[in-house]
Amino acid sequence: MSLLVIHFERFGPYHHARLQSAREALDWDVEGLEIAPDDAVYGWDVEEGKGITRVFESGSYQDHAAFKITREVTLKLDELKPDAVAIAGYASPDARACLKWCKENGARAILMSETREADGQRVWWKEFLKGRVISKFDAALVGAKSHAAYLANFGLTNVHFGYNVVNNATFLRSADRKTPPVLLASSRFIERKNFAALLQTYRRSSIDQTWSLCLLGDGEERKALEEEAYRFKEGLPWEDKEQKPGVYFAGFRQIKELPDFYAKASAFIHPALSEPWGLVINEAMAAGLPILSSRNVGAAEELIDHGVNGWLFNPESVTEMKIYLDKLLQTPSEELQKMGEASKRILEERCPTSAFGKGMAAAVKS
**What are φ and ψ of residue 79, in 5° steps?**
-75, -45
Helix and strand numbers, DSSP H then E, in the chain: 13, 14
- In tens, the pLDDT along 68-116 reads 999 999 999 999 999 999 999 999 999 999 999 999 999 999 999 999 9
- For position 358, what pLDDT does the model report? 98
Using a 10 angstrom Cβ sphere, with 0-12 exposed, 13-18 middle and 19 or more buried, the burial of residue 220 is exposed
- In tens, the pLDDT along 337-356 reads 999 999 999 999 999 999 99
For the chain, domains (ranges, CATH) are 3-165+353-365 (3.40.50.2000), 169-350 (3.40.50.2000)
For the beta sheet containing 3-8, the strands, ordered from the edge strand earlier in sequence to the opposite edge, are 52-54, 29-34, 3-8, 84-88, 108-112, 139-142, 159-161
Give the predicted TM-score (pTM) of the model.
0.95
**Amino acid in position 315:** P
**What are φ and ψ of residue 253, in 5° steps?**
-130, 145
C-beta separation of 60 from 36 below 8 A = yes
- In tens, the pLDDT along 271-298 reads 999 999 999 999 999 999 999 999 999 9
CA dihedral defined by 39, 43, 47, 51, rounded to 10 degrees? -40
Distance CA 30, CA 299 (A): 27
- For position 40, what pLDDT does the model report? 72
DSSP track, 293-335: EETTBHHHHHH--BTTTEEEE-TT-HHHHHHHHHHHHHS-HHH
Distance CA 175, CA 292 (A): 19
Distance CA 77, CA 53 (A): 10
**Amino acid in position 247:** V
Q: Lowest-pLDDT range, 46-60, 116-130, 250-264?
A: 46-60
Mean pLDDT over each residue of the chain, to the nearest integer: 94
Share of the chain above pLDDT 70, in %: 99
Q: In terms of Cα–Cα distance, which of 361, 365, 363 is closest to 139? A: 363
Q: Which residues contact 152 (CB under 8 A, 6 or more apart)?
A: 159
- What is the pLDDT confidence band of residue 13, given thresholds at 50, 70 and 90? confident
In terms of residues, how long is the chain?
A: 366
- What is the pLDDT confidence band of residue 244, given thresholds at 50, 70 and 90? confident
- For position 277, what pLDDT does the model report? 98
Q: In terms of Cα–Cα distance, which of 247, 257, 205 is closest to 13? A: 257
What is each CA distance from 193 to 72, 150, 250, 291, 313, in whole angstroms? Answer: 34, 22, 16, 16, 14
DSSP E strand boundaries for 126-179: 139-142, 159-161
Distance CA 242, CA 236 (A): 12
Q: Is the peptide bond before 180 cis (omega within 30 degrees of 0)?
A: yes
- For position 49, what pLDDT does the model report? 65
What is each CA distance from 114 to 40, 88, 204, 264, 275, in whole angstroms? Answer: 21, 9, 34, 30, 9
- In tens, the pLDDT along 306-334 reads 999 999 999 999 999 999 999 999 999 99
- For position 178, what pLDDT does the model report? 65
**CB neighbours (10 Å) of residue 2?**
13
Q: Which residues contact 347 (CB under 8 A, 6 or more apart)?
A: 168, 282, 285, 286, 303
- For position 239, what pLDDT does the model report? 87
Can you tell me whether residue 167 is helix, strand or coil?
A: coil
Q: In the predicted model, is pLDDT for residue 20 greater than 90? A: yes
- For position 235, what pLDDT does the model report? 80
C-beta separation of 300 from 278 below 8 A = yes
243 torsion bin: left (phi>0), alpha (psi -120 to 50), beta (else): left
**What is the average pLDDT across 205-217?**
95
